[in-house]
Structure 1
Amino acid sequence: MKASPVRQPLQVFLVEDATAVRRKIAEALSAIPDVSVIGEAEDSASALSGIAESGADVAVVDLRLASGSGIELLTLLAREHPSVVTVVLTNHAGAPFRAACQRAGAHFFFDKTSEFDAACEVIEALVKQRAAPAR
């Protein structure tokens, strides 16, 4: 009988300027089985280097950051780390922001206030997708 491979947790990096909000998001994501929050940043430059150094699978990004912008970060991640899945979680959820994030390369976009559960469901789906046997 073949031993099943050890499942590695989905590694998530949080980019959010508000410490209290970052804590709540980290707590919610860490409660999802097979998800590990491996790093956090409050600005674009720290996020880019942290994501690169940590080998994150997913970056959860707010648009308003302590310095730099989430859209700028999305553009850099799409160009420099295209394998990182980007999930925008923001209070700036109007159509122009959604369109700008899509142009910047975001994979998913959620309103922090009304779509937080949906963002968590996407993270859960990524865990399941990763655990599915390759065909």
Structure 2
Amino acid sequence: MNLFIVEDSLLIQNRLVSFIEELSDISIVGITPDIGSAYDKILNAHADAMILDIQLSDGNGLNLLKKIKNTHPEIRVVVLTNHSSEANRMQALRAGADSFLDKSTDFEQIPSILHRWQATGLGH
């Protein structure tokens, strides 16, 4: 599975990379800290899945989520955020998020989600 990360916190980026490097058959094909260039980078990297923060330095990740899901609905998306209000969760799910996680409490769920997606035939 090709995984792309859209996250502006270097600390979280590093934590995700160290988590995901332990997983077999999952490759990080790109990381970007902003929305501006993310869409083209995701498509050019042939991402099967992505981890997306909502609050980024240059805007709201939900707009990128909507654009990705409108043009490439097969790309699976985990929204990973510190802003895990019920309103944000509902907005993310309506925009097409496949999973919605709180950075402070749900981080450890990422490997099982990615493995589940792999088991259902996502990625090659």
Bin for the TM-score computed over the shorter chain: over 0.9
C-alpha displacement of 1:101: 0.3
Which residue identity is paired with 1:105? G
Give the root-mean-square deviation of aligned CA atoms: 1.2
Q: Does 1:72 align with 2:90?
A: no
Query: Which of 119, 125, 128 matches 2:116?
Result: 125
C-alpha displacement of 1:18: 0.8
Query: Which of 110, 114, 121 matches 2:105?
Result: 114
Cα deviation, 1:1-44, whole Å, max 9, x if unaligned, reads: xxxxxxxxx10000001112111111101211111011011111
- What's the counterpart of residue 91 of structure 1? 82
What TM-score, normalized to structure 2? 0.92
What TM-score, normalized to structure 1? 0.85
User: Paired residues, what number?
Assistant: 122
Cα deviation, 1:63-118, whole Å, max 9, x if unaligned, reads: 11121211111111111221110110111111001011011111111111111111
Runs (4+) of structure 1 moved beyond 4 Å?
A: none
Query: Which of 99, 104, 108 matches 2:95?
Result: 104
SS, match of residue 130 in structure 1? coil
8 Å contact kept, 1:43–1:69 = no
- How far apart, CA to CA, are the structure 2 residues paired with 1:127 and 1:110? 18
Segments of structure 2 that go 5 or more residues without pairing to the other structure are none
C-alpha displacement of 1:119: 2.2
- How far apart, CA to CA, are the structure 1 residues paired with 2:106 and 2:112? 10
Identical amino acids, percent of aligned pairs: 30
Segments of structure 1 that go 5 or more residues without pairing to the other structure are 1-9
SS, match of residue 108 in structure 2? helix
Q: Does 1:18 align with 2:9?
A: yes
- How far apart, CA to CA, are the structure 2 residues paired with 1:71 and 1:22? 19
C-alpha displacement of 1:47: 1.3
- How far apart, CA to CA, are the structure 2 residues paired with 1:35 and 1:13? 10
